[in-house]
Amino acid sequence: MSNEKSLTPRQEDRRQRILATARQMVADYGYEGMVMSQVAERAEVSPTTLYNLYNTKDELLLEALRELLVRSYQRVGELSDVGPGWRYLLNLMEYGATLRASEPAYAEAITDALLRAVQGDALTELLLHSVRQDFLHSLTKMAERGELKEEVDIEHLSTMLLGNYWSTFLLINKGLEEISRMRFSLVINMLSVLIASSQGAAREEMEATLKTIMQEVPSYA
C-alpha cells in the first residue's frame, strides 16, 4: 500500500479523513452499508485516489481498524511507563473500555463482524491473533520476573484473557451487560484470572487493586 511510504502532511491528512470516514460509515450503516464511492465523496477525494490507496472495501476497513489499534496501543504505552506486565494489561482493559464507550456504534459493528468472521481471515488475525500476542508478551515478561506460578501455561492464559476481553464486548452488543460497567467487567475479570495464576508481590498488588476497584462498584462487592 502506498501509505507505507513516508507521507507529507497533506497526504497524512487525506489518509486520516478517509479512515475516519470509513469508521463513521460502518458505525452508521454497518459493514455492508460502507460503500467505497460514498467514502470517497465524504472524505473529499476522488474514487480513483481511494482505490489507488485501498483496493477493496475489506482492505480499507482493516486499515481503519489497524490505525485505531495502533493509536490505542500507543496511548496504553504512554500510560504504562513500567513496561509490559499486569499493569500494562490493566491499562489496556481500561483504555479498551474508554474506546468502546467513545465510539459505541462503530465498536458494535466491528464486534458483530468479528463474530461472523471465519478462522484465518484478516479480521480474525487483526482482532484476535494480534491482541492475543500482545497479552502473551506481557505474560511472558511476568513469567520471566517470577510473578507467575511455574506451572502456569502462559499460552493458555493469554487465550483465557482474550476470551474474557471479547466476550465482554459481545455481552454489551447483546444487551446482557451495560456499557457503563464495561471497565469494571474487563478489569475485574482480568485481575481475577491473573491473581489465580500469580505469586509474590505482584499477586499482593493485584489483590489490593482488585479490592479497590470492587469497592467502586457496590453491586460487585
CB atoms inside a 10 Å sphere around CB 48:
9
Instruction: Output the pLDDT for position 80.
Output: 62
d(CA 18, CA 38): 11
> At which residue does the C-alpha cell 490493566 appear?
90
Give the separation between CA 170 and CA 209, rounded to whole angstroms. 26
> How confident is the model at residue 107, as a pLDDT?
85
Nearest alpha carbon to residue 197 among 92, 86, 88:
86
pLDDT at 82: 66
Residue 65: the pLDDT is 85
Mean pLDDT for the chain overall: 88
- Calpha distance 27→109 (Å, rounded): 6
178-185 contact pairs (CB < 8 A, 24+): 179/100, 179/101, 179/104, 181/217, 182/97, 182/100, 182/101, 183/93, 183/94, 183/97, 183/98, 184/213, 184/216, 184/217, 184/220
What does the pLDDT look like over 153-206, one tens digit per residue? 999 999 999 999 999 999 998 989 888 889 999 999 999 999 999 999 999 999
Domain annotation for the chain: domains and CATH numbers: 2-53 (1.10.10.60), 62-220 (1.10.357)
In the predicted model, residues of the chain with pLDDT beneath 70 are: 1-5, 79-82, 218-221
Give pLDDT, residue 75. 75
CB 111 within 8 A of CB 169: yes
pLDDT attached to residue 103: 81
Q: What pLDDT shows up at residue 5? A: 58
